[in-house]
Amino acid sequence: MQSTLEDILDQLESGVRHSVVAAGRTDAGVHAAAQVAHFDSVGPIPSHRWPAALNGRLPQTIRVRAAAEVSSTWHACYNAQYRRYRYTIYNAQTANLFLAHWSWHRYKKRLDEHLMAAALADIVGEHDFSAFQKAGSHRAHSRTTVQDVSLVRQGDLLVVEIQASGFLYGMVRLLMGQIVAVGEGSLSLDNFISRWRRRARHEVREAAPPKGLCLLRVGYPTVIFPPGLWYDSQPRFLLDSHDKAI
């Protein structure tokens, strides 16, 4: 996304090389419903016209929902107070092609959402989460604060949301791989707690696939955009009376 936006900005404001700074990085295949980014503009295009100008040139997989002018000291990453991710799991035995691109189909066992919720509750607070950090991170340390977690099951769908002041490289996918192992019974709750508190990265092997993960929102001290454009913009899947996803 970053390089695509920068190329188009260079076209719209010729003679200037633009640098787009996002609120957070996402792995290939991870979705973003409300990514926030900033860039410096030197041309005459007013802020409210930037979405139309960019969307007319962007591929259909990227859409700019809104734009606003901010101060020169405002930073999309450093000014953020939190990021919130949503992970969707489809727990039916039979695959659903309409959900395949947006969820992790985990079908061998019925997941125990109560054990999974207990595992998630244990990570709330400021901790060293190096057990859930992929190699290649440039962070100076592995501490961050998990502010809120939730898990909701509706029939065959499980929706997990995790909010933190920041996330380590690969943190959510590695964490979700462990949470699902707890739900399936292949990893006990006690072993999960011991593993991450001991920072035993070598014991954390399976990462959840990227397609079930979505950057849901990024929060700032001052609201920049109307809530309808950013607060909960990933559509939720629904279930019919037979508890099948539609």
The pLDDT, as a whole number, for residue 246 is: 46
Residue 107: pLDDT above 50? yes
Domains (ranges, CATH) in the chain? 2-78 (3.30.70.580), 82-216 (3.30.70.660)
Residue 167: pLDDT above 50? yes
The pLDDT, as a whole number, for residue 140 is: 83
Does residue 40 have an active-site annotation? no
Q: Are 214 and 173 in contact (CB under 8 A)?
A: no
Binning pLDDT at 50, 70 and 90, where does residue 119 land?
very high
From the candidates 10, 27, 40, 156, give the one annotated as an active-site residue: 27
The pLDDT, as a whole number, for residue 123 is: 98
Phi and psi angles of residue 210, each rounded to the nearest 5 degrees, phi first: -70, -25
Q: pLDDT for 50-87, tens place per residue? A: 999 999 999 999 999 999 999 999 999 999 999 999 99
CA distance linking residue 181 with residue 112, whole number of Å = 10
Q: Are 37 and 50 in contact (CB under 8 A)?
A: no
The pLDDT, as a whole number, for residue 138 is: 78
Binning pLDDT at 50, 70 and 90, where does residue 14 land?
confident
